[in-house]
Amino acid sequence: MSALKARLTDDMKTAMKSGDKSRLGVIRLLLAAIKQKEVDERVTLSDDDVLAVLIKQAKQRRESIAQYETAGRDDLVATEQFELGVIESYLPTKLDDTEVRQIIADVIAETGAQGASQMGAVMNAVRAKVAGRADMAQVSQWVKSALTG
């Protein structure tokens, strides 16, 4: 069992004992998503795989928040924000923009990449270095502007 999954299981037990039903519900949803992926792929997930599931769940919550805000559903926005907060507590700390831009510059210098045709190679190297600690959509925009601009 991965360390992250074990931490989720321990936190679920703690939430059960303390009677924190809202946090317990979120942790159960996360463990269910992890279990579903394990069943679908017929493997035991590593920490990186569990992290990918958590990132996907966080992204879904952000998208839901945006949709609920446009629909004026403040009650559902609050629920999703709470769930997002719980999920983010299990994610690694985010890098700030300057750190990410420095990593991008370092990777471009290391690979000698020039032009948008080498964006894939740069993105793969950056993805390996930031590993869930940055929004990859934003990173993609920065890499594109660095290579074309």
DSSP 8-class letter at 72 = T
Determine the Cα–Cα distance for residues 133 and 144; give it in Å rounded to an integer.
Answer: 19
Pair (45, 106) in one structural domain: no
Residue 70 contacts residue 26 (beta carbons within 8 Å): no
The crossing angle, in degrees rounded to 10, of helices 119-130 and 97-111 is: 130
- The domain of 113 spans 97-148
Determine the Cα–Cα distance for residues 72 and 19; give it in Å rounded to an integer.
Answer: 31
Q: What's residue 142's pLDDT?
A: 92
Determine the Cα–Cα distance for residues 130 and 48; give it in Å rounded to an integer.
Answer: 12
The crossing angle, in degrees rounded to 10, of helices 136-148 and 119-130 is: 140
Q: What is the pTM of this model?
A: 0.79
3-state secondary structure of 8: helix
Last residue of a domain, one of 88, 112, 134: 88
Mean pLDDT of 36-43: 95
- CATH code: domain of residue 9: 1.10.1510.10
Pair (73, 128) in one structural domain: no
For 92-110, the pLDDT digits (tens) are 888 999 999 999 999 999 9
Pair (45, 113) in one structural domain: no
Share of the chain above pLDDT 90, in %: 72
Which helix or strand (DSSP H or E) is residue 88 part of? helix 74-88
Q: Is the pLDDT of residue 1 over 90?
A: no
Task: Extract long-range pairs of 69-74: CB within 8 Å, 24+ residues apart.
Answer: none
The crossing angle, in degrees rounded to 10, of helices 97-111 and 136-148 is: 50
